[in-house]
Structure 1
Amino acid sequence: MPRNSKDGQPFDQIKYINQWSKENMASVSAKYKKEFVQEFKAACLKLDLKQSDVFRNAMQAVIDQANEQEQS
């Protein structure tokens, strides 16, 4: 039996996910030379790393550094 929303209409899972993403997520974009990107992708594959994890870790390191500097 499908779930119903508060207004009695069938619950639209895709609409819910898209709305949640719109409200809670953001993207970061950058462009680099193709050779550089291909080299990065190959390095991630060789090291068994997800590209998104590399980006997240680098971003978190910058945030941490800024927070440490702020506390000094």
Structure 2
Amino acid sequence: MQDKYQAQKEYAKRNIKKIGCSFQKDFVDEFKIACKGLGISQSEVIKKAMIETIDKYKNQM
């Protein structure tokens, strides 16, 4: 039987890229609490920061 998630895996392989970073445990825990308290996802905050950085770069060109 073919893996029922095969199409998702293939899409992710072609279109998704992961980034990684490491911070002190207390800092990460505080970030998680802040995001939860604000009702926003961690990935939402990170994506917004990435978009702002890209826009800042493009605007300086």
Structure 1 length-normalised TM: 0.77
Structure 1 residue ranges without an equivalent (≥5): 1-9
* Alpha-carbon shift at residue 13 of structure 1 (Å): 4.6
Q: Which has the higher contact order (CA 8 A, sep 6+)?
A: 2
**Deviations 1:12-65 (CA, angstroms, capped at 9, x unpaired):** 651111011001000111010100000000111111111010000000000000
Runs of 4 or more, structure 1, over 2 Å off, are 10-13
Percent identity of equivalent pairs: 33
Q: Which has the larger radius of gyration?
A: 1
Matches within 5 A, 1:31-50: 31-50=22-41
The alignment's C-alpha RMSD in Å is 1.6
